[in-house]
């Protein structure tokens, strides 16, 4: 089966003037925001092409492990050496990590021939604070990165652009939707598509809002057959199911998504595993109040911070020693914290049991 890297071998020689944007291109443009441009770009005024960005990373000896996925390091090399992508201009690089505000945010603008731009929002990285912010979505109406995504879009100078595309993978897809829903009309009127690749949904207040109804026809959501992340919370009514060569949560990896010459390989609908997991998680969350969700998420985050590292990458490097620290702290937590853990765990296993037996 073929992936986006194969697509670039087949069609990387064709510029965007020769072949218009297609569904695979939209995904690649979303992935670009994951590249570790912080290593070589230090201000949002700098404009570089993709080939220039790649050369900067080579000169700075950026390592494969600095990318979210190892294949991302391969992808940027391919993009920098194919006619379709190498001369695309990248601008407005912004990256912000704020532990106190529990925010992980990054975005950039990709310039497409024909006076078009693609606003690409980064999804969750491997930092603890990035994952903490994701889980905060289960009890907060708005999280800090959503506010940043909206401000970022509103502050763009868009007068010279005729069409705007907004998108992202994982949390990046959620940010793209949130920003498109609430941005100024001068920008909203130019948005042609909002691309969401397996991003989580929202609390009900947002999906029931008038802003959501107005933008709904321009939101395109793509999820793998066994989508788990993309089915969290109140997800999107209209979605396209892409075949993946992975299993369960590993289907979230965009390199596992199957493609043909110009498009994804689609399935009729999500599979029974995705439905099962969605039912379990939905029923589980319904039994836990917003306050209890917050207490539980804060507790897990606090336990992770006891390892004295700030990311899952660093935790992996500590090996079993890091996990021993977490379990040791877990044994010594107070009665109230134990009560929360027991409540959440009991609720989860009850939902698990009910759905499996049914």
The number of residues making up the chain comes to 358
Same domain assignment for residues 311 and 267 = no
Same domain assignment for residues 259 and 295 = no
Residue 279 lies in a domain: no
Same domain assignment for residues 205 and 340 = no
Same domain assignment for residues 238 and 343 = no
Residue ranges making up the domain that contains 330:
287-357
Which of 215, 241, 271 is where one domain is finished?
271
In this prediction the pTM is 0.92
Which of 220, 245, 271 is where one domain is finished?
271
pLDDT per residue of the chain (358 residues) written in tens, 0 to 9: 799 999 999 999 999 999 999 999 999 999 999 999 999 998 889 999 999 999 999 999 999 999 999 999 999 999 999 999 999 999 999 999 998 899 999 999 999 999 999 999 999 888 888 888 888 988 888 999 999 999 999 999 988 899 999 999 999 999 999 999 999 999 999 999 999 999 998 888 888 888 998 899 999 999 999 888 888 877 766 899 999 999 888 999 999 999 998 899 999 888 788 888 888 888 888 888 888 888 888 888 887 888 877 777 777 776 677 667 767 777 777 888 788 888 888 888 787 777 776 6
Residue 151 lies in a domain: yes
Same domain assignment for residues 151 and 292 = no
Same domain assignment for residues 105 and 251 = yes
**Number of folded domains that form the chain:** 2
Same domain assignment for residues 253 and 335 = no
CATH number, residue 205: 3.40.50
Residue 277 lies in a domain: no
Same domain assignment for residues 187 and 300 = no
Residue 207 lies in a domain: yes
Residue 281 lies in a domain: no
Same domain assignment for residues 162 and 264 = yes
> Is 31 in contact with 106 (CB distance < 8 Å)?
no
Nearest residue to 25 via CA among 268, 261, 269: 261
Residue 282 lies in a domain: no
Query: What 3 state SS string does the chain have?
Result: CCCHHHHHHHHCCCCCCCCCCCHHHHHHHHHHHHCCHHHCCCCCCCCEEHHHHHHHHHHCCCCHHHCCCHHHHHHHHHHCCCCCCCCCEEEEEEEEEECCCCEEEEEEEEEECCCEEEEEECCCCCEHHHHHHHHHCCCCCCCHHHHHHHHHHHCCCCCCCCEEEEEEECHHHHHHHHHHHHCCHHHHCCEEEEEEECCCCECHHHHCCHHHHHHHHHEEEEEECCCCHHHCCECCCCEEEECECCCHHHHHCHHHECECCCCECECCCCCHHHHHHHHHHHHHHHCCCHHHHHHHHHHHHHHHHCCCCCEHHHHHHHCHHHHHHHHHHHHCCCHHHHHHHHHHHHHHHHHHHHHHHC
Residue 276 lies in a domain: no
CA dist list (Å): 28 to 88, 118, 168, 210, 357: 12, 11, 10, 31, 41
Same domain assignment for residues 264 and 315 = no
Residue 278 lies in a domain: no
Same domain assignment for residues 126 and 266 = yes
Which of 271, 300, 319 is where one domain is finished?
271
Same domain assignment for residues 136 and 254 = yes
């Amino acid at each position: 089966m073929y992936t986006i890297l194969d697509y670039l071998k087949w069609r990387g020689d064709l510029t965007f003037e020769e072949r218009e944007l297609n569904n695979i291109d939209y995904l690649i443009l979303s992935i670009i925001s994951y590249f570790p441009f912080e290593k070589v770009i230090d201000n949002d005024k700098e404009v570089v092409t993709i080939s220039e960005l790649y050369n900067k990373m080579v000169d700075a000896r950026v390592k494969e492990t600095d990318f979210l996925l190892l294949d991302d390091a391969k992808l940027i090399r391919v993009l920098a050496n194919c006619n379709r992508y190498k001369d695309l201009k990248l601008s407005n690089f912004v990256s912000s990590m704020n532990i106190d505000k529990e925010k992980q945010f990054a975005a950039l603008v990709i310039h497409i021939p024909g006076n078009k731009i693609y606003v690409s929002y980064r999804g969750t990285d491997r930092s603890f604070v990035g994952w903490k912010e994701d889980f905060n979505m289960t009890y907060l109406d708005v999280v800090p990165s959503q506010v940043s995504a909206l401000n970022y879009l509103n502050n763009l100078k868009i007068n010279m652009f005729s069409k705007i595309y907004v998108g992202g993978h994982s949390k990046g897809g959620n940010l793209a939707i949130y920003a498109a829903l609430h941005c100024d009309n001068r920008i909203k009127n130019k948005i042609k598509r909002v691309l969401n690749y397996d991003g989580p949904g929202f609390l009900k207040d947002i999906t029931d809002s008038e802003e959501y109804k107005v933008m709904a026809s321009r939101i395109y959501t793509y999820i793998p057959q066994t989508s788990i992340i993309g089915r969290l919370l109140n997800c999107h009514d209209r979605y396209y199911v892409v075949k993946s060569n992975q299993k369960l949560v590993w289907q979230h990896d965009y390199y596992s998504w199957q493609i043909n010459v110009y498009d994804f390989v689609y399935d009729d609908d999500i599979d029974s595993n995705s439905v099962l997991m969605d039912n379990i998680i939905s029923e589980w969350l319904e039994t836990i109040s917003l306050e209890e969700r917050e207490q539980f998420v804060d507790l897990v985050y606090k336990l992770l911070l006891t390892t004295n590292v700030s990311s899952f990458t660093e935790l992996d490097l500590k090996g079993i020693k890091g996990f021993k620290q977490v379990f040791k702290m877990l044994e010594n937590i107070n009665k109230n914290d134990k009560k929360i853990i027991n409540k959440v765990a009991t609720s989860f296993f009850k939902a698990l049991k009910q759905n499996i037996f049914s």
